[in-house]
A and B are shown apart, each in its own frame.
Chain A
């Protein structure tokens, strides 16, 4: 079953990025979450963190975030991903899949690619997580 939800933040610094849409799907021990936005930036960071807090209760211990639709990530978006990973711990682990080239570049520059478990795609991640 796919559940979809959104969180609207009140970031007065950028009215254009107040909403973050996520959808989630349970796959065995993994909860596949898809970020349904093109930008995970300063404007969207707060809404993203809040939306991640509203993961379905049934989410498994591995939360796999599919970022394949996200084509722009800035340092605030990166910080929001770290914050989300911390908020899920210790019972759940955030892993990332489907990083587009500009997003991957930010991870490489900041060496955050050493912090997160990254998968080429959601499919590859699900295969790996189910093994």
Chain B
């Protein structure tokens, strides 16, 4: 399948989106980001993978970094399409990650009795499985998360 990422410079300049996780909702922010990325004309599985990782990351910010904190919940999302990958940055001013580190995202056990099956904890496992070069920093009271999503690879 032809992929623009392999044929030269990316057809989309870097862009930045600002939103509010509470007022606007993660869905709306995600919809705006995915609309911008349409210019990359990505194959559907790749597009779906990007949407999933962005959703997990943004939901984590909304549910954990801001959580029960009242008031505005600003999120800044930057996307930088490159050769063979899409570099993503997510910045928020919510609570820091527990222990100042990214969660391990270990696979959840599934061979368990029904009552013991996990109802959560899949998010970081999915992010770690699909994203590369994950970096987290707490700087000036803000969380900065950066990672790359591979483009133009099968699977």
Q: A residues within 8 Å of B by Cβ?
A: 12-17, 39, 41-43, 72, 74-76, 78-80, 82-83, 85-86, 89, 101-102, 105-106, 109-112, 114-115
Contacts and interface: CB of A to CB of B under 8 A. Distances in A.
Contacts of B126: 75, 106, 109-110
Nearest to A102: B48
Question: What is the size category of the interface that chain B forms with chain A?
Answer: 20 to 34
18 contacts: A13-B22, A14-B25, A14-B62, A41-B59, A75-B56, A75-B120, A75-B121, A75-B122, A79-B119, A79-B122, A82-B117, A86-B115, A86-B117, A89-B114, A102-B48, A106-B126, A110-B107, A110-B108
B26 interface: yes
Contacts of A89: 114-115
A102 B34 CA distance: 15
Chain A interface, DSSP helix/strand/loop, else mixed: helix
B120 A111 contact: no
B36 interface: no
Nearest to A103: B48
Contact of B27 (A12, A41, A75, A111): A41
A89 B27 CA distance: 31
Interface string B119-135: 11111011001100000
Contacts of A105: 45, 48-49, 52
Interface in B77-129: 107-108, 110-111, 114-115, 117-123, 125-126, 129
B116 to A, nearest CB: 10
A77 to B, nearest CB: 10
Contacts of B129: 109
A83 B111 CA distance: 16
B61 to A, nearest CB: 10
B63 interface: yes
Interface in B18-64: 21-22, 25-28, 44-45, 48-49, 51-52, 55-56, 59, 62-63
